Structure 1
């Protein structure tokens, strides 16, 4: 039962900025979570930490160790990226529009409202309040929208909505109080960047300012002849300072006075005086506007930009989906392309500058483009609307998802990447089913078709239709794969087709409501169907006898599922109960009252708390575990419940999300927010500018947000539409409003103290291995149930001794041993050795494994999954080398 969050599929990008760490790690926001994509390994993972609202700003430290994420509620998380753990939290009073680490990693610049705040970056040390506010600049008249640091971390460049850009010096020095103003733009500042000299990378020589109307201004700084530097005493050359003292005593006294002043400034927290002040001051010289350039994309607005100092190149993205790459300072256009018709919300370089990352929030699209070769490194797009259904492949390696955007996507579970998208359906996908062959996927849709997809050639090879158009909402196939059945929403019938010919064989009539649940028995050809007419019916499809059994209920039946052994049938009803039937005897075995278990979360329009609300408390999806010992249930709630089937008790309750941007997450009612006209949040008194001509009143009509009620401003309601447990039993997935959540067994829990005594220790295992007793060492390691020791003892057995050791293993340790084989095959190069182990284990315990296959099924499925993947890899390698080997053999024979 030790499941924990592993990954989030279906929505790679939903808004906010993206950052690239260590040149190959792409970090982006996914709702209130953070997704990390390894561009070299083609893997994506979602961090388990969550915020209370959608994340809209992310910053990464230069060394890639820390993340600074800010959500819509102005709450910030400081995250250790390597350990995926939250170190610190902080909240800001105003909205944060920009955030950036200094190049030396010591400071964080935060643009909160009209203020620019400089915070000292916390580290690994535990502190009561780790964030220290170093400086606050309040020179702007409107919101600060863009930030950049100088290479020496001494200067901050900030652009604002008041059309101005200012450069600030971090340290407090005499005669350097007013920041320099860069003026001339006619629209909001989108990006500001420091340029450097090629001879000296730490010396600032240029500044680029970019505004929303597509203008880029180039500013140059020329140093005076005195070359204003800070001397060793902290003064500036060229100031009206007294002449340098002549005697050593005068020098010593002046230095002591200066050190005393430094210490006082440090105690008062005025700035960063821990390091010796050195470097060039942007003072005493002259700033001048040297060039004005325009991207000429009107009426489109510039929405994203980034600058690479090493290459002196600028990338810009516009609201019409066009992006441009320009060489500065000559403003030479290298590339100008259109990647979509929607607004580009983020554009960023990687460290080397050879990859460009673009994000489009409206399409949920994230792509990485190599501009030199003009090729895609990554192109991922999640489901735009809610995911309705999902299905695991028989080997648990693939996961298929179907959504309201009429698309079917197939994901690799281990990498989290979508490798194929089918878009032939013309309406929402409502059901998915993998065939036993693992290479065929079935999908049912509201467009009146059931389609079969070939996962080898990636094409639709068969389409099942009806004489008149119907809307299909459920799908099932028998174990042999010869018969396909689909239930309808409008005609209340079940249609039966032949998989080989595609012909319609039969129409099962009898239900008086939509048939939302279909499933074949795993052991025979009996089909179970559930309907809103308050009945569950069993059909004998092959004999043509029609309905052979009917199980009546008091309320509408929402879902039906068979136990893997076919001896039990579970169905959920509208009153929040789960009923368990014996399909052979036709008797009700017992029921689980889940109404209180699933209760939680109130809608924005509710005038009562979640505990007193009685609406929507029912399960809409059910699924048994691989061994049938527990069942997962989810519905219109933020919770997913796990029940023990034998004892009918709640084992665990998983909360889908903590994102308060969704409706139905908050439990308690704040009466201060309720008025006579309704909830205060629903009263639209926002006078801010509309974004790109799209007002808040029309956002839901234009499908700008996820589908939801128009009464709550298009806020989506949290719910679970589909649940599936992997055939291996080691993970399960849930199709929710947030996307597809994948949970897996926590591998860190490796110690289970069963069958232990004082002599069972790791030292005893090592002693047995030294004494050449592999049999005793393996049994001791299995009793300790420590993963590393078990693998070590398996490898220590010599191949001739494998049959003897395998026959001596007690049956109760077989499951743990098979799990060890599966883990070893994923990383161990000794393929033949492990397969020899599996063969001898089946010879020695074949009868016991067959008799207890139900308990061993998850472990066996895991082993099968790894062997199947290795077989596919070796088959491709061997087939590609077959003709080369033949050629070499024939050549050696001829010579």
Structure 2
């Protein structure tokens, strides 16, 4: 029951800017979520917080603590990256096109339509309204497109669609100050950057980049009276107050900011008057006093392509630019020397950025859903990840739960490492949508079925397709199953309504099972016998004896189309879902209907933009298309054409919990109530296409579909519809995956402590556990900790047992505590350095309770799977270490012999 969102896999990068924080963390928007990738550890995680629609702009503070996100609805989230929580929320009045923190982290600049707003950055203290608007500049005639701060946070460069760049001063100057205009560009501005002199640290030039592939270099000429700027500032300059006794100005607003920038760590106090003007002391480098001259114009030479993304590294004086034809270039400024010019795709590059050291380039292509991190000095890839741009149709867990395979409408199969969230291999041999996946026993072989008429077997050691199964005539396969021994492969078809049976060893077609009168969408072998169950849209579930060749041995009729079928892990129950929203549970041995769950009201929710009825009154689309039993068979997960995934108790037929897949309003079917104000004569306002985003280089891409719809479902020609296509629970029972419109959502059991005692008494306390340990009674201490069911105490008692006493303590553990102890040992194997000690525990526990484990294998199966997963991972790590040491020793011995 305690499943929580853990990660998002297979979701494509759909647009927005990417940022590298702390030199190693790549932060990118993925739909309405934020993904953080550790480039050194090769791990990716998705923040649990969601925006109301797709995120378009992000900015991170200089110290990497805070993150600001702006979505398509102009809603702003202020997030603590260390804690993964949303601290503040705010809604801007107009769309935000640019956002950037000041170098000292105290201010944030927003490009809100034609306005530039300067806001005070919230801190760690509690405030009634943490965001405070300091100043608003209304100088631009068109939408703001680019922002850049000066190193001292006193000046701001603003690029706009009005073909100009303006230099704004945050301080109010006596006598007035008109922003300096950088003119000459003939298309909208894409990037503006301050350039500094590395010796003096002063601003010496400005770079302005436009969409027509031009970069202008502007030189700063310092005037004679530029240092005498104190008389030009409004207000009286006084000595700063002492840090211990802050003074307030008449308006009562004061703040203290720690500046950690190019000029070192300085604690400064900023005060703002009623008008929001900064009345702080003098400007060290007054840029408004000098003169600017156009030094030169340079062209990148990519016409007729348009420049779509750019970034500048101030320390190395490097500029990276991306174009609409998929080419990116790296240039040394101000000499405009091309260091690299490469083509990474044929689509637009929508984001480009440097890391703090300047050795890594991040490039993103929204149309392909691709992100690259490239080290330009060694010309090698640090990261090359691409999600499924089209909908994910199927997922499959490996037997040890370490790998997850996904298949999608883009004809690709990807295999992910669940712990790190990284895709390590992609198979693209299929020529049509992948509809079903299945792992063979041993993690080394993966089966896939596709609409292209083939079933393929993949070798996960050599990463190749080693066997292909075909039918005499081309068929569209939509379901897949394999028996426990892995000798027989079965696949159901969409068009001929047949089931094809092949031999895994020879690849020859053994049999064709006929009898269904509709598409065979569900196929599964019994876990204990050689009986194959199939479900079809002809309103039947059939059982087949594949090995004896007797054909259909049992038929279970229904009143509506059957969409899927699954076996319980013990093989004594069969569950299938029908088009009327019900889940039927059958006894496959006696052929009787055990019970039925009515799920129409549970899955109901969400109204499409084209629906004429409300979500409560609509009867279409309320059915489950995917079912999955838990590892012990006590509950079942069900998902379908809805924003909800339902968890039912099988024994009591009650709804335990509903998981909402997403809150992203950019998808259709998330809202329960539509706004009638957005309905026009031409239809819903949000479904009327406009070409506003084509100008920015991000063309809209419609989602792919399988080419057919379920009976009773209405196609939608507008936004993607939220739905769940496949559900799978890991063999360990600790996590489950859902293939949805948003990507593959991973839910896992929360590792935080939940107090759930099993046998509580007045004498069972943590103090009693510590007393037993101090009196050298490890057996009593372990039993008390197991009764308390507190994870930290159980691990503490396991570690304190002497190796000599392990057999005696292991034999004294009652059967009801065995599962909890195995789970604790599996967790210790992954995190504890005492490898031999924990393996001794596992060995003695198996010797003492082998018969009990065999008799209660169903209830202990999830814990045993977790233990097997931990041991397999350790074995692989040790094998790799030993292999590398062996080769190293051989090399050292050979060099020693030669010398």
TM over 0.5: yes
Deviations 1:137-168 (Å, cap 9, x if unpaired)? 00010000000011111111110000011111
User: What is the match of residue 253 of structure 1?
Assistant: none
In 2, distance between residues paired with 1:701 and 1:745?
A: 32
Corresponding residue number in structure 2 for 1:206: 205
Determine the C-alpha separation between the residues in 2 that align with 1:678 and 1:879: 65
Shift of 1:677: 4.3
Deviations 1:643-672 (A, max 9, x none): 000000000000000001101111013233
- Would you say the 8 A contact 2:609–2:674 is kept in 1? no
d(CA) in 1 for partners of 2:635, 2:151: 58
Distance in 2, Cα, partners of 1:700 & 1:365: 17
1:676 Cα deviation from its structure 2 partner: 4.7
2:29 maps to 1:29 = yes
Change (3 A) 1:471 1:3: same
Structure 2 unpaired stretches of 5+: 238-247, 255-270
Q: Which of 764, 767, 774 lines up with 2:771 in the alignment?
A: 767
* Candidates 285, 290, 298, aligned match of 1:285: 290
- Contact kept? 1:33, 1:51, Cα under 8 Å: yes
Distance 1:56 1:508 in 2: 51
Task: Find the aligned partners of 2:879 and 2:21 in 1 and give their Cα distance.
Answer: 36
Q: Does 1:874 align with 2:888?
A: no
Q: Structure 1, residues 305-347: CA drift from partner, whole Å, max 9, x if none?
A: 0000000010000000000000001101000100100000000
Q: 1:266 aligns with which of 265, 272, 286?
A: 272
Secondary structure of 2:850's counterpart equals helix
Secondary structure at the aligned position of 1:866 is classed as: helix
After superposition, the Cα gap between the structure-2 partners of 1:262 and 1:524, relative to the gap in structure 1 and judged at 3 Å, is closer
Query: Equivalent of 2:344, from 333, 339, 342?
Result: 339
Deviation at 1:680, TM superposition (A): 3.5
1:83 is aligned to 83
The corresponding residue for 1:457 is 462
| Aligned match of 2:131 | 131
Instruction: For residues 112-133 of structure 1, give each alpha carbon's deviation from its aligned partner in whole angstroms, at most 9, with x where no partner exists.
Output: 1000000001122232221100
> If the length of structure 2 is used for normalisation, what is the TM-score?
0.93
Normalising to structure 1: TM-score of the pair? 0.93
Alignment of 1:238-277 (within 5 A): 266-273=272-279, 276-277=281-282
User: Match for residue 425 of structure 2?
Assistant: 420
Shift of 1:789: 1.5
Distance across 2 between alignment mates of 1:584 and 1:534: 20
CA contact (8 A) 1:20 1:27 kept: yes
Aligned to 1:750: 754
CA distance in 2, matches of 1:191, 1:892: 58
CA distance in 2, matches of 1:799, 1:883: 34
Contact 1:87/1:124, CA 8 A, preserved across alignment: no
Taking the TM superposition and a 5 Å limit, the aligned residue runs for 1:62-211 are 62-201=62-201, 203-211=202-210
Q: For structure 1, which segment, 857-866 or 754-763, has the greater mean C-alpha deviation from structure 2 after superposition?
A: 754-763
CA distance in 1, matches of 2:872, 2:848: 23
Aligned to 1:507: 512
- 8 A contact 1:12–1:35 mirrored in 2: no
1:810 alignment partner, one of 801, 814, 830: 814
Deviations 1:373-397 (A, max 9, x none): 0000000001121100010000000
Distance of 1:632 and 1:111 partners within structure 2: 45
Match of residue 805, structure 2, among 788, 801, 808: 801
User: Aligned equivalents of 1:377 and 1:677: distance in 2?
Assistant: 48
Contact 1:228/1:283 (8 A) holds in 2: no
Output the aligned Cα RMSD: 2.6
Q: Measure, in 1, the Cα distance between the counterparts of 2:626 and 2:229.
A: 70
In the alignment, the residues of structure 1 paired with residue 474 and residue 446 of structure 2 have an alpha-carbon distance, to the nearest angstrom, of 22
| Contact 1:172/1:270 (8 A) holds in 2 | no
Question: Which whole-Å CA distance do the structure 1 matches of 2:372 and 2:887 have between them?
Answer: 38
Whole-angstrom CA distance in 2 between matches of 1:788 and 1:687: 58
Alignment partners' CA distance in 1, 2:697 and 2:850:
69
Q: CA deviation at 1:890?
A: 12
Q: Partners in 1 of 2:465 and 2:252 — Cα distance?
A: 74
Shift of 1:262: 12
Kindly indicate whether residue 358 of structure 2 is the aligned counterpart of residue 359 of structure 1. no
Aligned with 1:389: secondary structure?
Answer: strand
Q: In the alignment, what sits opposite 1:522? A: 527
For residue 885 of structure 1, report the CA deviation from its aligned partner. 5.9
Taking the aligned partners of 2:584 and 2:193, their CA distance within structure 1 comes to: 64
The Cα shift of 1:714 comes to 3.7
In the TM superposition, 1:660-671 aligns within 5 A as 660-671=665-676
Aligned counterpart, 1:252:
none
Corresponding position of 1:249: none
Structure 1 residue 889 displacement after superposition: 9.8
The correspondence for 1:829, drawn from 827, 833, 846, is 833
Instruction: State which drifts further: 485-494 or 4-13.
Output: 4-13
Question: 1: distance between equivalents of 2:252 and 2:71?
Answer: 37
Question: 1:803/1:342 Cα in 2 relative to 1: closer, same or farther (>3 Å)?
Answer: same
- Is 1:311 the counterpart of 2:316 in the alignment? yes
CA distance, structure 2, for counterparts of residue 316 and residue 131 of structure 1? 33
Aligned residues between the structures: 868
> 2: CA distance between counterparts of 1:701 and 1:517?
25
Q: 1:605 aligns with which of 598, 610, 618?
A: 610
- In structure 1, distance between residues paired with 2:594 and 2:808: 46
Alignment correspondent of 2:264: none
Q: Which residue number corresponds to residue 647 of structure 2?
A: 642
Structure-2 separation of matches of 1:892 and 1:292: 61
Could you say what secondary structure the match of 2:357 adopts?
coil
- Aligned residue for 1:612, secondary structure, equals coil
Partners of 1:682 and 1:712 within 8 A in 2: no
Residue 392 of structure 2 contacts residue 408 of structure 2 at CA under 8 Å; is this kept in 1?
yes
Q: Which runs of 5+ in 1 are unaligned?
A: 245-257
Call closer, same or farther: CA 1:510–1:604 in 2, change over 3 Å: same
Q: 1:11 to 1:713 in 2, by over 3 A?
A: same
Q: Is the 8 A contact 2:391 2:704 kept in 1?
A: no
- Residue 733 of structure 1: aligned partner: 737
